[in-house]
Amino acid sequence: MTESTTIRWEQDETGIVTLVLDDPDQSANTMNQAFRDSLTVITDRLEAAVQADPDSIRGIVFTSAKKTFFAGGDLRDLIRVTPETAQQLLDGGLAIKRDLRRIETLGKPVVAAMNGAALGGGYEIALACHHRVALDAPGSKIGCPEVTLGLLPGGGGVVRTVRLLGIADALLKVLLQGTQYSPQRALENGLVHEVAATHEEMLAKARAFIDANPESRQPWDKPGYRIPGGTPSNPKFAANLPAFPANLRKQTNGAPYPAPRNILAAAVEGSQVDFETAQVIEARYFVELAAGQTSKNMIQAFFFDLQAVNSGANRPKGIEPRPVRRVAVLGAGMMGAGIAYSCARAGIDVVLKDVSAESAAKGKSYSEKLCAKAVSRGRTTQEKADALLARITPTADPQDVAGCDAVIEAVFEDSALKHKVFQEIQHIVEPDALLCSNTSTLPITALAEGVERQVDFVGLHFFSPVDKMPLVEIIKGERTGDEALARAFDLVRQIRKTPIVVNDSRGFFTSRVIGHFINEGVAMVGEGIEPASVEQAAAQAGYPAKVLSLMDELTLTLPRKIRAESKRAVEEAGGTWTEHPADAVIDRMVDEFGRPGRSGGAGFYEYGDDGRRAGLWPGLREHFTRAGAAEAEIPFRDMQERMLFSEALDTVRLLEEGVLTSVADANIGSIFGIGFPGWTGGVLQYINGYEGGLPGFVARARELSERYGERFTPPALLVEKAEKGERFGDA
C-alpha cells in the first residue's frame, strides 16, 4: 500500500503539514485497517521529507474533516475478535502505536486541532501530539471511555495519561471512570492545553504553537523527566498503592468487570518501565480484554443496542415528529414531581396538578430542591434554574390543563381513580392530546377503557428517581395507535431518556422480570441461607441493589398485592396458579413478624428513627437460617445464577408471548430499568455470552430446574434457538 486513503496530506507554503483525518467510507473516523495503513504511509512520508530536507517541514497539525475529530476503535471489528485472532489485533495495535511514536519523536512540533469529539482512540491520537487545542463545539466530548465498554485505551492512552497526569490522576480522572469531559472541563483537568471558540481560532492557535516551539518534545522525552506524583519505586507512593485495588473492589462490588483491573495493572506496571515497554504491556492487557466475553457483551449493549433503541428502530415509521410544548402531569407525588422536573428541564411547560394547591406546590418544591443542588454544585446557572422552575405551574384546578398537548398521569395505583382523573381532564386538554399513564402494574388496555380516545392512550412507565433513571418503558395497549406510540417515543427522546417499547401485559417487561430476581433472593432466605450471603451473592453478581434491601424499599405488601391480582387473573382465564417459594417467606414477614419493609420502619433490615437502614434483622437468622445450608447444599455460584437465570428465562418467555418484540429493548431495558448487571450486556446477551453459548445456557438451566424447581425449565423458544445454533439478536 503506497497511498493514504483516510488521512489527507495538506502542506502550506510555510512548511506546516496538516493531516486531515477523513475516512471516505464512514461518517466518523475509526481505527480500522484503512487508517492503520494510511498512518504508516503518512509517517513514512513525514520521515522521508524531514530526512531529505529538515527545513521542508516546520510542524504538523492533526485535524479532521468530519463533525467529530476521531471516534476511536472500530467496534464492529472489536466485537468479532476471538482468542485466535487476538494476535492480529495485537500486531495492528502495536503498528499504530509505533507510527504515532515516530511522529511524536520526529523533532517537529505536532498539534492536535480537535474540531469535535475526541473520545478513546481520538483522544489517544491527541495525546501523541505535543499540544492539544479543543474546539468548544456542541457535543465535543473528550476522554477515554473504553472502561465503559469493558476495554482499556490500547493506543497509548494508558501510557501517556500516566506520564501526563501521574498515576493517581490518570486512573481517577481519565481511565477508571471513563469520564467524558467538555472542552472547558478537559482544560481544567489538564487533558488539553487550550480551548478555541471557533474553527479559525483553533487553527490559529495550532499555528501559533508551531511558530513558538520549533523543536517541540513531549515532557516524557525531555531529560530528567519523572512521572508526576511518583511511581511505585518511591516508598511514599508505594505505601498508598494498596488503596487502589481496594477502591476498585468498591467500584465494581466484586462483580466480574475485568477492565478496571487490567487498567490498574497496565498503569502501575507501565510506570516502572521505559516508554516502549510500557506500550507493549498496555497492548497485552488491551488484547486480553478485547478477546474476552465481557467487552463483547458491553459493546453489544452500550454501543449497538443503545444506538438501535435510541435511534427509533422500534418507533412506528412515517409519522412526523411533533414536539410536546405543554404537558399536564396529574399527581404531584414522588413520581409526578420527578416527571415534572424532567419535562421542565427539557424546556417543556408543565402543569402539575394534584388534589390540593398545597400538595401540588409540594410536588414543585422537589424541582426547587434539585435546582438548588445543581446550582450549588456548579452544574447549572441560577438563571437556567429559575427558567426551569418558571415552566412548572402547580395547581389543583383541572381547568389549568387547557392547552396541554400531552398528559402524564401519576396518581395512586388505583384503576378507578385513574379513570376518574382522565375523565376530569379529557375535554379540557387539546382535542388530540397524547394520553399517558405511569402505572407500574395495571394493564394498559383496561385502563384505556376509561378514556374516550383509546387510540391516543399509552403506558409511559418511568423509574424512580425519575431525574436520575435513564429509561422509560412505553406500553402499547391493544387499541393504542401507531401515531400515539410514535409521539410517546418522541416525548421520551425529547426529555433525553431512552425509550423501550413493549406490548401490554401484567407487569409489562420490567416490573415482571425484576420480580423474579427479588423472589429468588427471598426464597433463599426461606431455604435457610444466611441472609448476608444472599445480599453478597447479588452484589457480586453485579446487581447495583442488594436483593433484600430492594425488597424492603418496594415494601413487602406490594408483591402480595400483585400476587393476589395475578392469581385472580390466571384463575379467571382457567389456568392453575403456582406458588413461588418466596411467597411463604413474605407472608411470614408481614403477618407473623409485622415487618412490611422500609416505609413501615421494619423489614428484612432494621431502620433507625431517621429512617436510615441499619443491619439485617437478627430475627431472620433465628427464624429462617439453617447452619451449612449455603456451603453444602447451595453453592455461591448457584445463588448468583438463580437470580440471573430467573430473569433471563422469563425474558425469553416474554419474547415468546410477544410482549417483547426487540432483543435490543430487552437488553437495554434490563440494564437501565431494573439493574440487570452491565457486564452481561443485558438479559438476553447474558444468554448469548454464557459459557457454551445457548446450548450451555440450556444445559445449566436444566440443572437448576432439577435442583431448585420447574421455574428454571428452559422455554421452548430458547431450546429451539439453541438447537438451531442461533443467538438472540441474530437477524
**Choice between 127 and 421, CB closer to ligand NAI:** 421
How far, in Å, CA of 99 to CA of 77, rounded?
21
Please report how close the Cβ of residue 256 comes to ligand NAI at its closest, in angstroms. 29
The answer to whether the CB of 434 falls within 8 A of the CB of 324 is yes
| Relative orientation angle of helices 716-724 and 693-708, to the nearest 10 degrees | 150
* Count of helices and strands (H, E) across the chain: 31, 20
Please indicate whether residue 579 is annotated as part of the active site: no
Indicate which single residue of 336, 477, 681, 715 sits in contact with ligand NAI (rule: CB under 6 A): 336
Q: Where are the alpha helices (DSSP H) in 14-130?
A: 33-52, 75-78, 86-104, 121-127
Stretch that binds ligand NAI, among 193-201, 461-469, 478-486, 578-586 (CB under 6 A): 461-469
The answer to whether 209 contacts ligand NAI (rule: CB under 6 A) is no
Alpha-carbon separation of residue 283 from 97, 157, 286, 350, 415 (angstroms): 9, 10, 5, 52, 58
Stretch that binds ligand NAI, among 47-55, 333-341, 445-453, 678-686 (CB under 6 A): 333-341
Interface with ligand NAI: number of residues (CB under 6 A): 24
Q: Cα–chain-centroid distance for residue 81?
A: 23
How far, in Å, CA of 604 to CA of 370, rounded?
31
Please report how close the Cβ of residue 577 comes to ligand NAI at its closest, in angstroms. 23
Stretch that binds ligand NAI, among 436-444, 498-506, 513-521, 649-657 (CB under 6 A): 436-444
How far, in Å, CA of 619 to CA of 626, rounded?
13
Stretch that binds ligand NAI, among 99-107, 122-130, 368-376, 435-443 (CB under 6 A): 435-443
Per-residue burial over 665-704, b if 16 or more Cβ lie within 10 Å, else e, is: bbbbbbbbbbbbbbbbbbbbbbbbbbeebbeebbebbeeb
Stretch that binds ligand NAI, among 83-91, 318-326, 408-416, 450-458 (CB under 6 A): 408-416
Binding mask 410-429 for ligand NAI (x = CB under 6 A): xxxx---x---x--------
Stretch that binds ligand NAI, among 12-20, 172-180, 459-467, 711-719 (CB under 6 A): 459-467
How far, in Å, CA of 643 to CA of 686, rounded?
12
Please report how close the Cβ of residue 545 comes to ligand NAI at its closest, in angstroms. 13
- By beta-carbon distance, which residue lies closest to ligand NAI? 333
How far, in Å, CA of 392 to CA of 349, rounded?
6
Please report how close the Cβ of residue 332 comes to ligand NAI at its closest, in angstroms. 5
The answer to whether 565 contacts ligand NAI (rule: CB under 6 A) is no
The answer to whether 545 contacts ligand NAI (rule: CB under 6 A) is no
Indicate which single residue of 57, 90, 196, 335 sits in contact with ligand NAI (rule: CB under 6 A): 335
Q: Which of 124, 527, 530, 535 is catalytic?
A: 124
Opening angle at CA 46, ends 40 and 50, nearest 5: 145
For residue 197, give the C-alpha cell.
Answer: 471558540
How far, in Å, CA of 557 to CA of 439, rounded?
17
**Choice between 300 and 511, CB closer to ligand NAI:** 511
How far, in Å, CA of 365 to CA of 346, rounded?
18
For residue 299, give the C-alpha cell.
Answer: 459493546
Please report how close the Cβ of residue 590 comes to ligand NAI at its closest, in angstroms. 19
The answer to whether 675 contacts ligand NAI (rule: CB under 6 A) is no
Indicate which single residue of 228, 333, 544, 693 sits in contact with ligand NAI (rule: CB under 6 A): 333
**Choice between 258 and 443, CB closer to ligand NAI:** 443
Please indicate whether residue 530 is annotated as part of the active site: no
Opening angle at CA 38, ends 32 and 43, nearest 5: 130
| Amino acid, res. 711 | R
**Choice between 286 and 462, CB closer to ligand NAI:** 462
Please report how close the Cβ of residue 436 comes to ligand NAI at its closest, in angstroms. 11
Alpha-carbon separation of residue 193 from 107, 189, 209, 482, 556 (angstroms): 20, 10, 11, 50, 55
The answer to whether 475 contacts ligand NAI (rule: CB under 6 A) is no
**Choice between 413 and 583, CB closer to ligand NAI:** 413
**Choice between 252 and 440, CB closer to ligand NAI:** 440
The answer to whether the CB of 412 falls within 8 A of the CB of 331 is yes
Please report how close the Cβ of residue 462 comes to ligand NAI at its closest, in angstroms. 6
Burial class (CB in 10 A: 0-12, 13-18, 19+), 621: middle
The answer to whether 332 contacts ligand NAI (rule: CB under 6 A) is yes
344-373: contacts with ligand NAI (CB under 6 A): 353-355, 359
What secondary structure letter does DSSP report for 70?
A: B
Question: Which residues are part of the catalytic machinery?
Answer: 124, 146
Interacting residue ranges for ligand NAI, rule: CB under 6 A:
330-336, 353-355, 359, 410-413, 417, 421, 438-440, 461-464
